[in-house]
Amino acid sequence: MTTRQFPVTRLRRMRRDDFSRRLMRENTLTPADLIWPVFVLDGENQREAVPSMPGVERLSLDLLIEEAREAHLLGIPALALFPVVDASLKSELAEEAYSASGLVQRSVRALKEALPALGIITDVALDPYTSHGQDGIIDDEGYVLNDRTVETLLKQALSHAEAGADVVAPSDMMDGRIGEIRRVLEKEHLVNTRIMAYSAKYASRYYGPFRDAVGSSANLGNADKRTYQMDPANGDEALHEVALDLAEGADMVMIKPGMPYLDVVRRVKDELKVPTFAYQVSGEYAMHMAAFENGWLDADSVILESLTCFKRAGADGVLTYFAKRAARLLAQ
């Protein structure tokens, strides 16, 4: 006579009811985990669709402030601001990047005045301002010059901080720029300006729609950013980058892109144990939207699933174009 063999452990018991699923849930997504990247345009009452990012619009400042107010009321802690710079203001040396009356600097002042409690993160990199679309200043061969670029990034970061940016976020991947920016901020007594370093930023083709949105793709042409952004095949190098940025004075670090790089997020969080962010980039947004619009994936649940997985991987927060939509879903 054989006795019936029951599983000793039935993992399904805890999954049976909502109450026990909730009790054992390890990670939760809240609006406080979300950072909303936005594209700002010059002018008034301007709203432009970005064809490769359905549902994302470039907005003039007056409209952006209203959208930002909604984001703030939804509990989103911060916006990441990206400018759409007029072609006439782009140049070889990107001088417009540090103009006190530039679009970003004006936008920061206006946003901080209208919504003082909403965190404003600015992008420190020259690609919206260069006539060639690279993130830095190039030599005759088109090679991005590190130290020459850092000099300009310092002016840019300082102009953002002086305008009232809460966080400056260097996304350029030049060596040594975090330390130099920190030194200049200290010297100017801007001791509370936070630095969110795009530490492990990969030379990814998932950024295509973003380059359409800010209008740098045409300028960049067939060139790429592999001489400064990281090789997608590397993981250890990301830890090296993060460690250096922390030693140089970064307050927060970022891994970018997001979903194909969640292993890197986990390793950074485990090894460095610092505030770690990830960017669900434009190409990830576009892929999702394409599937949603075709009815191939269920939008609301997939958005929340994808963002929860960033939390599980160890991210303290996620930059995502879905921020407002996700925050609204979470409020329900």
125 near ligand PBG, judged by CB under 6 A = yes
Catalytic residue among 90, 201, 269, 324: 201
β-strand 317-320 against 276-280: which pairing, if any?
Answer: parallel
Find all residues with CB under 8 Å of 214, minimum gap 6, and list them. 39, 82, 83, 84, 85, 127, 128
241 near ligand PBG, judged by CB under 6 A = no
282 near ligand PBG, judged by CB under 6 A = yes
Q: How far is the CB of 206 from ligand PBG (least distance, A)?
A: 6
CB contact at 8 A, 37 and 122: no
- Candidates 281, 289, 326, 327; binder of ligand PBG (CB under 6 A) is 281
Please, which of residues 49-78 interact with ligand PBG by CB under 6 A?
none
Catalytic residue among 90, 155, 187, 256: 256
Cβ-based nearer residue to ligand PBG, 111 or 210: 210
DSSP 166: S
**In sequence order, what are the beta bridge partners of 47?**
59
Cβ-based nearer residue to ligand PBG, 118 or 202: 202
Residue 317 CB coordination number (10 Å): 21
Find all residues with CB under 8 Å of 252, minimum gap 6, and list them. 167, 194, 195, 196, 197, 274, 275, 276, 277, 316
- Candidates 90, 132, 160, 211; binder of ligand PBG (CB under 6 A) is 211
- Candidates 39, 98, 202, 210; binder of ligand PBG (CB under 6 A) is 210
Size of the residue set binding ligand PBG (CB under 6 A): 12
Active site residue 201: yes
127 near ligand PBG, judged by CB under 6 A = yes
Please, which of residues 104-123 interact with ligand PBG by CB under 6 A?
123
Q: How far is the CB of 241 from ligand PBG (least distance, A)?
A: 15
320 near ligand PBG, judged by CB under 6 A = no
Distance CA 53, CA 239 (A): 31
Please, which of residues 154-183 interact with ligand PBG by CB under 6 A?
171-172
Task: Using alpha carbons, list the distances in angstroms from residue 62 to 32, 66, 69, 110, 237.
Answer: 25, 7, 11, 9, 42
Q: How far is the CB of 7 from ligand PBG (least distance, A)?
A: 45
- Candidates 33, 96, 135, 245; binder of ligand PBG (CB under 6 A) is 135
Active site residue 225: no
Nearest to 85 by CA among 97, 67, 93: 97
78's tokens: 């911060």
Distance CA 239, CA 132 (A): 30
Reduce the DSSP state of residue 169 to 3 states and report it.
Answer: strand
Binding site for ligand PBG (CB under 6 A): 123, 125, 127, 135, 171-172, 207, 210-211, 225, 281-282
Residues marked as catalytic: 201, 256
